[in-house]
Amino acid sequence: MTAWISNAENEGNATGVPGLLGRSVLRLCCLLLCVLALALPIAHVAWNSSGSGQWTLSKDDGQVKLWTLKTPGSSLVQVKAAVRVKSKLAGLMRLMEDMSCADAGCYDEAIVERLATPPGQYAAYIRFKFDVPGIHTQDYVLLQQRVQDVDTRKVTIDMIAAPSRVARDACCVRITHLHTHWTLTPTPDGHVDIEYSQDTDSGGLPYPIANLLLIEGTYQVMRGMQDLMEKPRYRIGSFRDIRELPAQ
């Protein structure tokens, strides 16, 4: 009888310890969820209100320099990068204006409408699509404008979102906020200094992911620019009305 009671007590203890442990783990998980539920909104408010509104150098690998700008009141960062490449302006302009997605990872590219401009300028509505792996397809409709300084031969290019210019495609997320700015400054020794800035809302992406993609994507584009300019398609002597800097 005594042995039977002792066995029962042991069995009860064996059963009770895992149950107690399980309840402790459950309470701990609930506590962590409560902490996260409080911490995430606080972290969002803190991030949204942060920022100096000034460009800050984030990366310099000896080839590409990259800056970020965070403005109080915005969850998204802006990005600016600079690189020097061995190329003529003609090759870079062919990349910018020929609307070939072969080297850019986009597709369904088209010039929607080319606009009348004064000599030495270019403007057109363009469209293309871009897949974000595992997320969605982005649909870009942009107004592209280009002007060249007659003295320095510096080329300035702006691309601005024009989301209402053509009907939306149900397949994709139309990008409604975008402004990219390029300056291409030729040097007497046959190089071009490229500076590129981007203020973009990627459309439906959580801002931590959107910021990461914007920063890393910009860096990779600039990092690969010299390799692009080495391709035969971009090793050309002239392009439309672009004027090269005279060799010295």
Q: What is the pLDDT of residue 5?
A: 38
> Residue ranges of the chain with pLDDT lower than 50?
1-14, 47
Q: In this structure, what token pair is assigned to residue 18? A: 């895992």
Residue 229: CB atoms within 10 A of its CB come to 19
| Pair (69, 169) in one structural domain | yes
Provide the pairing of β-strand 191-201 with 177-186: antiparallel
Residue at 123: amino acid letter: A
Q: Is 126 within a domain? A: yes
| Pair (116, 225) in one structural domain | yes
Q: What is the pLDDT of residue 124?
A: 95
Phi, psi for residue 188 in degrees, rounded to 5: -60, -20
Burial 204-218 (b: 16+ CB within 10 A, else e): ebebeebbeebbebb
Provide the pairing of β-strand 177-186 with 136-148: unpaired
Number of domains forming the structure of the chain: 2
194-205 confidence digits (pLDDT tens): 999 999 987 777
Burial 110-140 (b: 16+ CB within 10 A, else e): eeeeeeeeeeeebbbbbbbbbebeeeeebbb
Q: Is 115 within a domain? A: yes
Q: Which residues pair with 139 in a beta bridge?
A: 129, 174
Q: What is the pLDDT of residue 51?
A: 63
Q: What is the pLDDT of residue 4?
A: 41
Q: What is the pLDDT of residue 69?
A: 95
Domain that holds residue 147: 56-234
